[in-house]
Amino acid sequence: MSIAQSIAHFQRELAGTAARLVAVSKIHPPERIQEAYDAGQRLFGENRVQELLSKHPALPADIEWHLIGHLQTNKVKQIAGFVHTIQSVDSLRLLQEIDKHAARHQRRIRVLLQFHIAREDTKFGLSLPEAEELLREAGPLEHVQVAGVMGIATNTDDQAQLRREFTALRTYFEHLRQHFFAHDENFREISMGMSGDYRLALAEGSTLIRVGSAIFGSRPA
């Protein structure tokens, strides 16, 4: 299946839902990202700052770039001028750093709070009490829009476990919306689900699915 065919497939899959597709373009060159763009895709996700920096100038300006990998605070300044959404906020220090550099560019950057929902210790992310503490300590941030939550499920074929993890993330989202964002309509994103489990994630309320290999293949052509 070509990239254009894959994009069309996911457009059909998401028709009638509130979810959007983030095409995860890590390891793939700008030419293949352009193919997806030409097929109508506008949201792209990258894991590494250096790779994003190398691709951004070569591609259309209206791409909505999402940084979905772990982000070190000293790298924020490199992407603050153009990144649309940072999905991997897992500390107060990182949130404050994003706010500082967004202010310098007179921008407002959307962020998602990353939760640890998997049974794998290698995954980054907050617990619910840590997220609550972060939001209490952060206070108002003029140049950051906390827009929702993100989580990476366990790499497993156990659908019951995946469903539990996706349900947990949705529950965290609903708790935060009730207690911190009751009057903020911008807090609406639940980023969960990847190439192998996105249908389960959609059933549990995902609004952003992050799909790479099902669009681009496992390696660049």
Instruction: Report DSSP state, residue 59.
Output: S
pLDDT at 123 over 80: no
Q: What pLDDT sits at residue 124? A: 80
**What's the CATH superfamily of 3-216?**
Alanine racemase (3.20.20.10)
- pLDDT tens digits for 144-168? 999 999 999 999 999 999 999 999 9
- The model's confidence at residue 110, banded by pLDDT at 50, 70 and 90, is very high
- The model's confidence at residue 220, banded by pLDDT at 50, 70 and 90, is low
- Tokens found for residue 220: 């660049």
Q: pTM of whole model > 0.85?
A: yes
Nearby residues of 179 by Cβ (< 8 Å), 6 or more positions away: 132
Alpha-helical (H) ranges within the chain are: 3-14, 30-38, 49-55, 76-79, 92-104, 128-138, 159-180, 198-203, 213-216
Q: What pLDDT sits at residue 145? A: 98
- Amino acid present at 196: G
The alpha carbons of the chain give a radius of gyration, in whole angstroms, of: 17
- pLDDT tens digits for 20-61? 999 999 999 999 999 999 999 999 999 999 999 999 999 999
Handedness of CA 23, 153, 114, 200 (dihedral sign): positive
pLDDT at 138 over 60: yes
- Tokens found for residue 211: 């799909």
Q: What pLDDT sits at residue 122? A: 62
Question: Looking up tokens 């001028």, which residue turns up?
Answer: 81
pLDDT at 92 over 70: yes
pLDDT at 120 over 80: no
Contact of 26 with 46, CB cutoff 8 Å: yes
pLDDT (average), residues 106-116 = 97
